[in-house]
Amino acid sequence: MLQTLAIIGLLYVGILVFLAYSARTDTKNSTQYLMAGSNLGAVLGFFTFAATLFSTFTLLGMPDFFRVHGIGAWIFLMFSDAIMVFGLIYVGYNLRKKARKSTYYGMAGFLESNYKSRFAGIVAFIGVSIFLIPYIAIQIRGVAIFLHATFPESLPMWAWATIMVFVMLVYSEVGGLKAIMYSDVLQGILLLIAIWIVGYNCLHHFGGVKAMFAEVEKVNEALLSVPGPKGLFDFQFLFGSMIAIMLLPYTQPQISTRLVILKNVKALHRMAVGIGFFAILVILPTAFMGMYGAVVYPDATTAEFLNLTFVTDQTNFVGAVVMIGLIAAAISTSDSQMFALGGELRSILKGEDKKMVFYARISIFFFAVFALIFALMSSDDLVLLARTSFAGTSLLAPMIFAGIFYDKSDELKFIPLTTLITILVFIASLFGWIPDKIFMIRMDILLLAFLSVFTLVQILLKRK
Partner 1 sequence: MANERYWTFCKIAVGILIILTFTPLVMPVGVHKPSFAGMPYSFWVGILDALLLVGLTWIGTKVHPGRKE
Residue whose CB is less far from partner 1, 88 or 260: 88
Size of the site for partner 1 (CB under 8 A): 48
Residue whose CB is less far from partner 1, 50 or 364: 50
**Distance in angstroms (rounded) separating the CA atoms of residues 330 and 309:** 18
Q: Is residue 74 a contact point for partner 1 (CB under 8 A)? A: yes
Q: Would you tell me the crossing angle of helices 265-296 and 157-206 to the nearest 10 degrees?
A: 80
Element of type H or E holding 384:
helix 382-394
Report whether the peptide linkage leading into residue 227 is cis, meaning its omega lies within 30 degrees of zero.
Answer: yes
Site for partner 1 in 254-283 (CB under 8 A): 264-266, 269-270, 272-273, 276-277, 279-280
Residue whose CB is less far from partner 1, 364 or 397: 397
Q: Is residue 200 a contact point for partner 1 (CB under 8 A)? A: no
Residue whose CB is less far from partner 1, 72 or 253: 72
With CB under 8 A as the contact rule, the residue among 227, 304, 374, 454 that binds partner 1 is 227
**SS3 category, 438:** strand
**Distance in angstroms (rounded) separating the CA atoms of residues 389 and 248:** 10
**Distance in angstroms (rounded) separating the CA atoms of residues 306 and 353:** 46
With CB under 8 A as the contact rule, the residue among 101, 210, 218, 463 that binds partner 1 is 210
Report residue 438: phi and psi, to 5°.
-125, 130
Q: Is residue 82 a contact point for partner 1 (CB under 8 A)? A: yes
With CB under 8 A as the contact rule, the residue among 242, 261, 328, 372 that binds partner 1 is 242
Nearest distance, CB of residue 277 and partner 1, angstroms? 6
Where does this chain touch partner 1 (CB under 8 A) — which range of 33-41, 124-132, 215-223, 321-329? 215-223
Position 21, amino acid = Y
Alpha-helix runs per DSSP H in 28-117: 42-53, 56, 62-69, 72-74, 80-87, 93-99, 107-115
Report residue 379: phi and psi, to 5°.
-85, 175
Burial class (CB in 10 A: 0-12, 13-18, 19+), 83: middle
Q: Is residue 7 a contact point for partner 1 (CB under 8 A)? A: no
Residue whose CB is less far from partner 1, 151 or 213: 213
Q: Is residue 72 a contact point for partner 1 (CB under 8 A)? A: yes
User: What are the residues binding partner 1 (CB under 8 A)?
Assistant: 71-72, 74-75, 78-79, 81-83, 85-86, 88-90, 93, 97, 208-214, 217, 221-222, 224-227, 233, 235, 238-239, 242, 264-266, 269-270, 272-273, 276-277, 279-280, 284, 287
